[in-house]
Amino acid sequence: MEHSILVDGVIDGRQAARIVRARVKEEVTELRAEGIHPRVAFVRVGEDAASETYVRAKARACGWVGVRSEHIHLPSNTTQQDLFATIDRLNSDNDLDALLVQLPLPDGLGGRQVLNRVAVDKDVDGFHPENLGALVAGCGPLEPCTPSGIMRLIEMLGVDLRGKRALVVGRSVIVGRPMYNLLVRGHATVMCAHRHTPDLASLVAQADVVVVATGVTGLIRGSWIKPGAYVFDVGITRQADGSLAGDVCFDEARGRAAGVTPVPGGIGPMTIAQLLSNTLTCAKLRRGLIERTIHRA
Ligand code: GUN
Span 177-217, pLDDT tens digits: 999 999 999 999 999 999 999 999 999 999 999 999 999 99
Q: How confident is the model at residue 138 (pLDDT cuts 50, 70, 90)?
A: very high
| Pairing relationship of beta strands 6-7 and 209-212 according to DSSP bridges | unpaired
Asked if 122 is an active-site residue, the reply is no
Q: How confident is the model at residue 1 (pLDDT cuts 50, 70, 90)?
A: very low
Asked if 125 is an active-site residue, the reply is yes
How close is the Cα of 213 to the center of ligand 1, in Å? 13
pLDDT at position 3 is 64
pTM: 0.97
Burial 276-286 (b: 16+ CB within 10 A, else e): bbbbbbbbbbb
Q: Which CATH class name applies to 34-126? A: alpha beta
Please state, for a pLDDT cut of 90, what percent of the chain lies above it: 97
Mean pLDDT value across residues 16-22: 98
Task: Give the integer Cα–Cα distance in Å for 267 and 269.
Answer: 6
Least confident of 226-230, 262-266, 293-297: 293-297
How close is the Cα of 175 to the center of ligand 1, in Å? 9
In the chain, ranges of CATH 3.40.50.720 domains = 145-269
Specify the residue with its C-alpha closest to ligand 1, atom 1.
Answer: 103
Asked if 25 is an active-site residue, the reply is no
Q: Which of 12, 58, 121, 247 is catalytic?
A: 58
In the chain, ranges of CATH 3.40.50.10860 domains = 34-126
- 132 pLDDT higher than 60: yes
User: How far from 60 is each of 41, 54, 127, 154, 268, CA to CA, in Å?
Assistant: 13, 10, 22, 26, 14
Q: Which CATH class name applies to 145-269? A: alpha beta
